[in-house]
């Protein structure tokens, strides 16, 4: 019984920290937010924060996992444009609020985090190339985030279904091109 209570408490604490973190980043920017402010807003102690996260960058990476999952699925080849459209529609609807996530330094951290999630998928797909998998993963992550960022900047009036199809096609093309590179 205690395990269940601890698990619920852990989930509640992590949710509170995540919520406080996102609110503060959106209001003030990533660099301006401190661990002390996060813990104060979440109403948890600093030591409790460090039981769950090594620092605010780890909390940021955790916050990016869900939005990254659709992009990672492009690499695995198991996503349809329709499945990505909901994620892209959310990005588009929240673009003015969430713009911090598409700007430096969060964008750079997101790309590294996304690449870390993509790299195991490359191994699972047995992608063969003289390029290191870590570099291939970074190239894919850069391309995906760049496409979304430029679309959200409003310079190109495209429907989310078109952007979703482009994400999938560009990911496949990049993988095919990298697979044809010989040493």
- 79-105 pLDDT tens trace: 889 989 999 998 899 887 778 888 888
174 & 108 share domain: yes
Residue 9: count other Cβ atoms within 10 Å of its Cβ: 10
In whole angstroms, give the CA distance from residue 124 to residue 127.
Answer: 8
Q: What pLDDT does 1 receive?
A: 40
8 A C-beta contact, residue 77 and residue 5 = no
| Mean pLDDT, the chain, whole residue set | 90
Band (143; pLDDT cuts 50, 70, 90):
very high
Give the model's pLDDT for residue 183: 66
What is the pLDDT confidence band of residue 182, given thresholds at 50, 70 and 90? Answer: confident
Beta-strand ranges (E) seen in the chain are none
> Residue 34 maps to which CATH number?
1.10.10.60
Could you list the residue range(s) of the whole structural domain that residue 102 is in? Answer: 57-179
- In this predicted structure, what is the pLDDT of residue 73? 93
User: Which of the four pLDDT bands, split at 50, 70 and 90, describes residue 3?
Assistant: very low
111 lies in the same domain as 73: yes
């Amino acid at each position: 019984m205690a395990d269940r209570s601890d698990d619920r408490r852990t989930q509640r604490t992590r949710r509170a920290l995540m919520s406080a973190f996102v609110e503060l980043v959106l209001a003030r920017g990533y660099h301006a937010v401190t661990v002390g402010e996060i813990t104060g807003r979440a109403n948890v102690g600093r030591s409790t924060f460090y039981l769950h996260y090594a620092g605010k960058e780890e909390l940021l990476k955790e916050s990016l996992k869900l939005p990254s999952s659709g992009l990672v699925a492009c690499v695995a080849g198991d996503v349809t444009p329709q499945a990505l459209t909901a994620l892209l529609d959310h990005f588009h609807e929240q673009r003015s609020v969430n713009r911090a996530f598409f700007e430096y330094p969060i964008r750079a951290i997101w790309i590294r985090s996304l690449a870390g999630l993509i790299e195991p998928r490359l191994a699972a797909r047995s992608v063969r190339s003289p390029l290191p998998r870590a570099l291939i993963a970074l190239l894919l992550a850069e391309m995906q985030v760049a496409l979304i960022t430029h679309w959200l900047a409003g310079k190109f009036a495209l429907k989310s279904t078109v952007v979703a199809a482009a994400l999938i096609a560009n990911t496949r093309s990049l993988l095919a091109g990298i697979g044809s590179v010989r040493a």
